Amino acid sequence: MKNIIKDNINSVLKSRYLSYAVSTIISRSLPDVRDGLKPVHRRIIYSMYLLKLFNNTTFKKSARIVGDVMGKFHPHGDQAIYQSLVRMAQDFSSRVTLIEGQGNFGNIDGDNAAAMRYTEAKLEEITELFFDGIEEDSTTFSENYDGQNLEPDVLPSKLPNILLNGATGIAVGMATNIPPHNLLELNDCIVQLIKKPNSSDSELLKFIKGPDLPTGGEIILSSSEKKSIYKKGTGSFLINSKWHEEKIKNGMYEVVITEIPFQVNKVKIIEQLANLINLKRIPLDDVRDESDENIRIVLKPKNRNIDISKLVDLCFKLSDLSIKYSCNFNALEQGRIPKQLGLKSILGQFIDFRKATVKRKSKYNINKNNQRLEILKGYLIVFANLDKIIKIIRTKDDPKKEIIKAFKLSEVQAEAILNMRLGALKKLDELNLNREIKKLKEINIDLKKLIQNDDYLNKFLIQEINEINNSLSDKIKLRKSKINISDDYELNINVEEFSEIEKFNVLVTKDNQLKKVKDYSEDNQDKDSSIKNFIPISSNHKLLLFLSSGKVLTLDPNVLPGGKASPKSYIELINVGVNEKLIGVFNANTQNKLLLISKFGKGFISISEKMTTNQKKGKNIINLKNNDELLNVHFLENKYLALVSKNEKLLVFDTASLPTLNKGAGVQLMKIKDKDFIVDSSLFDLKQGLSWNKVSKTKNLKDVQFWLGKRAQVGKKIPKGFNKNLKFSS
């Protein structure tokens, strides 16, 4: 290798990647704001134009079209070209299809089109509006990739296609997502902008209701988002499916979905609903797909008492029957500058493009007419001097030179006269020649007005738009998507409202593993020494898990393993720090008051239902200082609390003196001296006495008056026969 480049790798990579990024943005991913097409779509349409595949001609094999596009203009994969062609023919992908397909071009279920050798295509009638004066110098052409053919830099379209059919694309560092719109609304907006170029965004939005999607549906759009989308080119809106109720026998009903959101696979929606039914998350008995060429998804509720609006809202919330569509109006200005544009800028640039196109076309036709006028004036001379000209042609060696000299003609005129066929002399009539000359001069006057007079050009463009509007079919004219401008729309539906409530027990083992079982009682616990405790719970309740760090986490009991499955450690179920231990597990919905006690004697009462949180990391309930940690959490079912410290002190006091807090540091429960700490705690009924386990027996102290005191006292020496490990339970 002789050509060795010595350079900093960072600068080389930066320049190469930047070059690649720009190439991707311009040549592949972003549409041109003028004709609304990416290069591949432009090349497909232009190739079909060259093949003369107009709407009044016969279809041609898609493979032939793809071959022409790939060979002449787009040296990339044939499948990429074919998929782009297919998309332009799908009425559920494009608001106005630009290609008419014959054969299997895929469907809204997500099924692919047939291979290109089986399908045929030609241009739609409306697509011919993309070629306004393409052979009359209305647009610029550049050499193709190998320099053997010319291709248009942009098609001279009469349609604001970038908003009509929208665009999606992902480039390097930027993306575009423009929804389709209604052509009549766009044209009305263009007319307004032609008449009043300084129109405000608010004035333009009187004409644009919002996007108009090929698959219909209901668009939920807030007024602020609408302004953001069309002023800044960024924002979002909701797309809801359209539905209606159908009554069936015995007072039952069914929900019938007739339109689904744009770019959503129908099969995916049905699969989602079927999975939700299996998981018992929605109260449906069945979902059926009864679609033909029209969409018909039938939802059968479990019973007739279910509120239909709430049921539909739940389905919208849990499936793609309702989606959020994010807009990003990124496009190429002048075919090379990527920019995020608003409605006024997009349509303003389209109008400027149309004016430039019409002027270029007019200049071309003026020159063409002038050439014809020059020849016609020559024909008038022929008519006046026919015999002399015939004599010169028959007798002179260089008749062209003699004719020019004799009659003061130009070379073009002389050439035209000499190239006339004898049969044409019969038609040579002074009156007809003068008529044609007069007509061409009138046309030229009109064309010059288009070039020089802006007001005249504006009227021409408005008339052109009105003619397009009048020629449109109802399928294109009529809006498909319903617009709902709402500033407070929200699916306020509680998923758990429809959940089937199931009762079971959560088992907590001595090594802090958890599982759920259907039937369990104290008898079972007595037989199984590995179970520390069990918690009766319902499937719509939540579990509270307390950690030694003072945090509480909320867990859905439905995620626990059940049946014969092995229990799972709490570490697998929640986010736990290295030094955090599980202190207690409680039912958040039934155990009302819980008593929290720290190792260094702090504590308070808290309401369990107020402790639930959606945060994965949980939330701090008790604020701990100086290496303190949460020791015990008790369900506050008895009135008196007994505390035992490491220094073998026992204190008993009434819990009525404790505060109830949502969170905090708590109050001092027992006075703790240096190097002392609380070992265990117990809540008990004063009448039944204080109990503790010793070896295999349970000891009971009926009279606790000696140890009875007030909160924050030191306590007194533990009674004789108390546990050596200072625990109430083994």
Active-site positions? 118
Cα separation of the two ends of the chain: 81
Q: Which residues contact 62 (CB under 8 A, 6 or more apart)?
A: 82, 85, 101, 103, 116, 117, 119, 120, 121
Phi-psi region of 335 (alpha: psi -120 to 50; beta: other; left: phi over 0): left
Phi-psi region of 486 (alpha: psi -120 to 50; beta: other; left: phi over 0): beta
Matching residue, tokens 């279910």: 306
Q: Would you say 658 and 605 are in contact if contact means Cβ atoms under 8 Å apart?
A: yes
Kindly calculate the radius of gyration of the chain based on its CA atoms and give it in whole angstroms. Answer: 42
Tokens of 353: 């493009």
Helix (H, G, I), strand (E, B) or coil at 657: helix
User: CA dist 695 to 241, 530, 533, 691, Å?
Assistant: 68, 17, 20, 13
User: CA dist 654 to 21, 130, 672, 729, Å?
Assistant: 74, 88, 19, 21
By C-alpha distance, which of 498, 536, 489 is closest to 221? 489
Phi, psi of 18 (to 5 degrees): -65, -40
Tokens of 300: 């059968």
Burial pattern 70-103, b for ≥16 Cβ within 10 A else e, equals bebbbeeeeeebbebbbbbbbebbbbbbbbbbbb
Phi, psi of 127 (to 5 degrees): -70, -20
Tokens of 121: 């295509």
The Cα 101–Cα 109 span in angstroms is 18
- Alpha-carbon torsion (178, 183, 184, 190), positive or negative: positive
Phi-psi region of 199 (alpha: psi -120 to 50; beta: other; left: phi over 0): beta
User: CA dist 503 to 102, 284, 519, 535, 540, Å?
Assistant: 58, 21, 9, 11, 9
User: Residue 727: is it exposed, middle or buried by C-beta count within 10 angstroms (0-12/13-18/19+)?
Assistant: middle
The Cα 158–Cα 333 span in angstroms is 17
By C-alpha distance, which of 274, 307, 310 is closest to 289? 274
Q: Would you say 166 and 181 are in contact if contact means Cβ atoms under 8 Å apart?
A: yes
